[in-house]
Structure 1
Amino acid sequence: MTPTPSSPTERPASVHAMRAEMSQILRVAGVADPDIDADLLIGHVLHQSRGQVQAAGIMGTALSETDAAAILALVTRRARREPLQHITGTAPFRRLELSVGPGVFVPRPETEQVAQFAIDALGSMPDPEPIGIDLGTGSGAIALAMATEVPHARIFAVENSVDAFPWTTKNFADVGATNATLVFGDLADAFRELDGTVAVVISNPPYIPAAAIPRDPEVRLFDPAHALYGGEDGLDVVRHVSQTALRLLRPGGVLVIEHGELQGAEIRALLAVDGWRGTATHRDFTTRDRATTAIRP
């Protein structure tokens, strides 16, 4: 049973009391970081940073009845394991604040590390305007990070989900990176006019095997299946990424693929069969295998 907040006559009158009640509700609901989520939900309603919310809690700042009611409505949604980012409508990614919601995959902190491989590779290229491509861009997180952090590069991104694409389009418009181009289409056929000229290709494709069930309700119940499941072994889209990247990249160009923690060896083998060289799998900050890179021969 999902825990419920206090009744209207019992609503916490201060930020301090609200934080305590919310943290307890979210902890009972199984939310991983209840204190953080409580602060962020209060901050969303009050238009304050997490630090400001914590300061208000220490100072015993009072809450209006309207604000208290709004905050408790949000904590009820979060206790049902609706993603925090769907509730606030935004997701941080590196230096960016992206719009997200139903239909688009919420970018994860571990993907920020994966994007770093592409950003570093683009920045090290001798080309005056190296080209980077994000295959299956989703919210646009990786593509826009590359475009804003390597401003002398030209970035192209493709997405084929009709549900995700409105979010992608909004994020591209909001960020306003003039060196980034977004198209709707299938990654297998994308950007043929750039064949053999690209410096870096990156993808965070759907890679969960069809029979696997994600543990977290936020993923299982709210992330779009289109962005999660990659066929029987989870690697159907990875195979397309490999072939498309071979077509797009120039010799010496770099491929970066995000994947599940148990898929590194299988992906390296797949890439070796396709003729890639220098394949290597890299761990994230939790020491789990998270990305594999390769070089176009």
Structure 2
Amino acid sequence: MNLLLAEVAQATRRLADAGVPSPRFDAEELAAFVHGVKRSQLHAVSDGDFDARFWEAVARRAAREPLQHITGRAFFRYLELRVGPGVFVPRPETELVAGWAIDALHEMDVAEPLAVDLCTGSGAIALALAQEVPRSQVHAVELSEEALGWAQRNVDAYADATEGRVTLHHGDSLTALPDLTGQVDLVVTNPPYIPLEEWEHVAPEARDHDPEMALFSGQDGLDLIRGLERTAFRMLRPGGVVVVEHADTQGGQVPWIFSEEARWTDAADHRDLNQRARFTTARKRVP
């Protein structure tokens, strides 16, 4: 075993003791980042090339600073995104939300589908849609100026790959894009949905580092989703669809927000790989 692999094993134990959920992965990812290699190439780093900055990074992670803040990057589907303080770090479960939206756009009989990503954060969903659905036009809305700055960096980085088909908007998702009323094929959102009373139970990586406005939404966590139901209805054309991420404990509650309104059909929950309800979809009723 070379020196770096031995240090990674020691770092793994340190991160595990600190309560980090994925200590081995994080230790390897930090080692790869510091040494400028892929995780699969760690064994090839010579003892003489060992960089002591690895332990600085491990100390930050042991203090529960998000891995993505330390490396400055987050992976989302086929994207490598820039992230840091001031923007919500995209999670793996949101990839399923984006995947459903992408499949829905592919199934539509529309030459140039129009999609809107509300509460875009880093721009992850918007960029995934534009990258994986050729000829789609995607509008992304974000209220936070800090988060919008990160989104702009990511949109600029993928401008060639997406042919400039992502347009960012600074504003409130509840009132955004009045000029698109009744024209949108799909609305997708990963809004804040954590109940305020759950604050103390939120993982330190999120509670202490993600923007509060990206996490919490009223006593039951559904305040913004209730408003976004009205926004989605305004934006969508008849037959258009909405996709809303939510907490696994809110399964049944979010579909009810849509199904109790006669203007929606097919409101349903969808489960993640652990069979937990994680997002809701609904279709705007055709008159």
TM over 0.5: yes
Q: Distance in 1 between matches of 2:5 and 2:256?
A: 54
Equivalent of 2:251, from 261, 264, 274? 264
Give the secondary-structure state (helix, strand or coil) at the position aligned to 2:116.
strand
* Residue 138 (structure 2) pairs with residue 155 (structure 1): yes
Give the secondary-structure state (helix, strand or coil) at the position aligned to 2:242.
strand
Equivalent of 1:237, from 215, 224, 236? 224
Which residue is equivalent to 1:146?
129
Shift of 1:16: 2.0
Which residue is equivalent to 1:19?
8
Structure 2 gap ranges (5+): none
Equivalent of 1:294, from 263, 282, 286? 282
Letter in 2 for 1:47: G
Segments ≥4 residues shifted beyond 6 Å: none
Equivalent of 1:255, from 221, 237, 242? 242
Which residue is equivalent to 1:44?
33
Equivalent of 2:97, from 97, 101, 114? 114
Equivalent of 1:211, from 167, 180, 197? 197
Equivalent of 1:170, from 149, 153, 160? 153
Shift of 1:191: 1.3
Q: Distance in 1 between matches of 2:240 and 2:144?
A: 27
Which residue is equivalent to 1:281?
269
Q: Distance in 1 between matches of 2:3 and 2:129?
A: 42
Deviations 1:21-76 (A, max 9, x none): 111111111111111111110110111011111x337xxx31446x1x21010000
Which residue is equivalent to 2:17?
28
Q: Distance in 2 between matches of 1:270 and 1:19?
A: 47
Shift of 1:13: 7.7
Which residue is equivalent to 1:3?
none
Q: Is the 8 A contact 1:256 1:294 kept in 2?
A: yes
Shift of 1:239: 1.1
Which residue is equivalent to 2:212?
225
Compared with structure 1, are the counterparts of its residues 63 and 260 closer, same or farther at alpha carbon in structure 2 (3 Å cutoff)? Answer: farther
Shift of 1:14: 1.2
Q: Identical aligned pairs, as a percentage?
A: 47
Q: Distance in 1 between matches of 2:135 and 2:245?
A: 24
Q: Distance in 1 between matches of 2:111 and 2:49?
A: 56
Letter in 1 for 2:248: E
Give the secondary-structure state (helix, strand or coil) at the position aligned to 2:218.
coil
| TM-score with structure 1 setting the length | 0.91
Give the secondary-structure state (helix, strand or coil) at the position aligned to 1:101.
coil
Give the secondary-structure state (helix, strand or coil) at the position aligned to 2:11.
helix
Deviations 1:156-194 (A, max 9, x none): 100001221110111111111211111101111111111
Deviations 1:202-231 (A, max 9, x none): 000000011112431111211111100011
Give the secondary-structure state (helix, strand or coil) at the position aligned to 2:198.
coil
Q: Distance in 2 between matches of 1:89 and 1:15?
A: 22
Larger radius of gyration: 1
| TM-score with structure 2 setting the length | 0.94
Shift of 1:287: 1.3
Which residue is equivalent to 1:4?
none
